[in-house]
Amino acid sequence: MGKDLQTIAVGVIGAGGMGGRHARNLQARVSGAQVVAIMDADAARAQHVADACGSAQIYSDAHQLIQAEQVQAVLIASPDRTHAGFVLECLRQNKPVLCEKPLAANAADAEKIMQAEIQGGRKLVQVGFMRHYDPQHVGVKQAIERGAIGRPVLFKGWHRNIIGSPDESSADIVTGAAIHDLDSVRWLLGQEIEEVYVRGINTVPAFTPEVWDMQIIQLTMRGHCLATIEVYVNAQYGYEVGVEIVGTEGTAQTGLTAPTLVRNKRTITQPIEEDWLERFDPAYLAELQSWINSLQQSGQPNGPDAWDGYTSLVAAEACIESIRSGQPQAVKQVERPSFYPHLSS
């Protein structure tokens, strides 16, 4: 994987909605990539995605896919509990890996990944925090960096799904949904999280009576900023993610993503996306193209890294403890290894 810009042969682990989307994008919409291997526990689903990717070989074992000689890089979109083990195998095989969030099921396992990557002496891990590639979020980041709003003092984020999973717990909502927002606040403000406080309610008692399907997370940052995150997994009306940064001289905010306004019967309507695959389709594509470009040019990914994955899990675990205790929780202060010199761009 030198500078000759050769095609990168990718193996994809997980052929569900997310993995299938990634595989099809890599094969048909991302230049410089070829999907050569697919693994999924559901053989029929793996076959369906492999057929869409031409001659991709089907594997029933993820470790065999990672070890396969023809696989140069790996994309992991399997269930969350499997991520850490598969990423560690990629590191043992010295292969770049793009792992969907969360990096691991817990911060301790994510720390093992960091230590293994540091010991190997080469950055190979990228985490799928795709908001880093969403044009609207990038626009907010750029406004902050050029000083258009002065010094940022407040982050306000919202994250709404149509309907949650009936077997989700309050903790699952943190690690499965809010972790994106925990990464966003770090990335956009360029600061680590110091303290979290989570409050919540249940809005659909007949669905999951004991679960906080709406959560408000209050945060203080090490750079003396405040933040609030609203996560609502049963919003019913559609899928919507947005952010506003309040600064000392102005604000920067994401807008509505749908380009079409319809005027009819004295009303104006605008469509809202149904799910994250639709809302962030341009971001997923840009994320993959950037990943492949970086592997072609340097053999290493340049997006959100293992430190980002680990630190977001540390904050997520503090949020879960706040839910259990009903009290604010300090986020464990962790010294950033010099291997990871700054917040990922």
In angstroms, rounded to a whole number, what is the distance separating the alpha carbons of residues 188 and 204?
Answer: 32
In the chain, % of residues over pLDDT 90? 84
Q: What percent of the chain has pLDDT over 70?
A: 97
* pLDDT single digits (tens) 306-322: 999 999 999 999 999 99
Instruction: Tell me phi and psi for residue 164, to 5 degrees.
Output: -85, 175
Q: Which of 285, 261, 284, 283 is nearest to 272 (CA)?
A: 261
pLDDT value of residue 343:
52
- Sorted by where each starts, the structural domains of the chain and their CATH numbers stand as 8-131+282-304 (3.40.50.720), 134-277+310-330 (3.30.360.10)
- Residues 94-144: tens digit of each pLDDT: 999 999 999 999 999 999 999 999 999 999 999 999 999 999 999 999 999
Model confidence pLDDT, tens digit, residues 8-51? 999 999 999 999 999 999 999 999 999 999 999 999 999 999 99
Is residue 207 very low, low, confident or very high in pLDDT (cuts 50, 70, 90)?
A: confident
Cis peptide before 166 (omega within 30 of 0): no
CA 168/CA 179 separation, integer angstroms: 15
The pLDDT of residue 67 is 98
Do the strands 214-221 and 226-232 form a parallel or antiparallel pair, or are they unpaired? antiparallel
Is residue 344 predicted with pLDDT exceeding 60? no
**What does 321-344 look like in DSSP terms, one character per residue?**
HHHHHSS-EEPPP-PPPTTS-S--
Mean pLDDT, residues 301-305 taken together: 96
pTM of this prediction? 0.93
> What is the pLDDT, as a whole number, of residue 25?
96
Q: Rounded mean pLDDT of 136-156?
A: 97
Average pLDDT of the chain is 94
- pLDDT tier for residue 345 given thresholds of 50, 70 and 90: very low
Neighbouring C-beta atoms of residue 175, cutoff 10 Å: 22
- Residue 269 CA to residue 290 CA, distance in Å, equals 35
CA 47/CA 53 separation, integer angstroms: 10
* Cα torsion 135, 229, 275, 190: sign: positive
